[in-house]
Chain A
Amino acid sequence: MARAALSGRLTWRAGTLVEARPETPTARTLVLDVPDWPGHLPGQHVDVRLTAPDGYRAQRSYSIASAWQEGGKVELTIQRLDDGEVSPYLTDVLEVGDQIELRGPVGGWFVWREAQQHPVLLLAGGSGVVPLMAMVRARGIARAKQPFRMIYSARTPEDVLYREELPRHVRDDLGFDLFLNFTRKAPEGSPNPPKRIDVPTINTHGWPPDFTPDCYVCGPTTFVETAADILVALGHDPKRIRTERFGGTS
């Protein structure tokens, strides 16, 4: 009995870095080969654990960026935080062939399932785009018909993750729209000056509440709270708003 109960528990496993792709000057995607990976849903995350030679351990949660396909890899996009304890190691030190400890996939709340029939609104602040990208990729692979809109707020054009891939999804995946908002510097010639995400942005580029979209909001706490408050003020049902915050100081 005890053994059966224990086998249901989640344990740590080793993942091997097979490829690393730079995304921006401060972020890169780690492609990990994890033997016997059970697959994952878009929006789920993993815990990553690093152990120093003296036994000191640090653990962080990172969203999975890739959509699962049989035989596929687990991709994590890591934003380097300069005062961080874990992220600079993952962005600058870890090399192809190196191993890290992973636990997951975990989290069943901030996920999108293909069986959900409602339109989807994705609101991303900074590297909060990562789990939302997994949803966009999963929708693309499944050729799902639910219309998706993404509003992605980044500091500058240089900070945009998946800068080349996102426009490809707009072109190739019917019913996927993207609006990029910039908070510090807009691209040359853009009609939209830099600003924080606000009511007109979400009102114009989101879905009307009558469409009862499933809304996913991910980013730093201030972004998540602002965006979720705006959605509620615009008349969206709080039960259809799912949020995920990250601290951004680790």
Chain B
Amino acid sequence: MRELDGNAMAGDLREIFAFDVTVARYTCAGCGDGGAIAQLMLWGQEMGHVARCPHCEDVVMRLVHGPDRVYLDLRGAVRLELPLAGV
């Protein structure tokens, strides 16, 4: 098991979204704390990632790779705030 952070999800997210989601600000559904997706605590390998809130450790995002598709579970984030142009 590796311990990384949300920065390491940039490639997997950029494969499914046209913009860099790691700069987006999340609001945690568990504790209401927020930060950049890049700051989430990340567990898992390439088959799937679990990203947890660094404040309360609730799961904010899950990303799982199937044979021909990606499953993204965002129920731990009540909100995502995305910059429209540049950062």
Chain A residues at the B interface, C-beta cutoff of 8 Å: 5, 8-11, 45-47, 57-59, 61, 103-104, 106-110, 221, 242-247, 249-250
Contacts and interface: CB of A to CB of B under 8 A. Distances in A.
B15 A249 contact: no
B5 A108 contact: no
A246 B46 contact: no
Contacts of B8: 45, 61, 246
Nearest to A218: B7
B38 A245 contact: no
Contacts of B38: 107, 109-110, 242, 244
Contact of B5 (A8, A10, A11, A245): A245
A249 B23 contact: no
Main secondary structure of the interface of B (DSSP, over half): helix
A9 B15 contact: yes
B2 interface: yes
Nearest to A6: B18
Contact of A245 (B3, B16, B22, B46): B3
B12 to A, nearest CB: 8
A37 to B, nearest CB: 15
A60 to B, nearest CB: 8
Nearest to A225: B54
B11 interface: yes
B87 interface: yes
Given A106-B20, A107-B20, A249 B7 contact: no
A147 to B, nearest CB: 23
A103 B12 CA distance: 9
A55 to B, nearest CB: 12
25 contacts: A5-B18, A9-B18, A10-B11, A46-B11, A47-B12, A57-B46, A58-B46, A59-B46, A103-B11, A106-B22, A107-B7, A107-B10, A107-B20, A107-B22, A108-B23, A109-B6, A109-B20, A109-B22, A109-B23, A109-B36, A110-B7, A245-B3, A245-B7, A246-B4, A250-B2
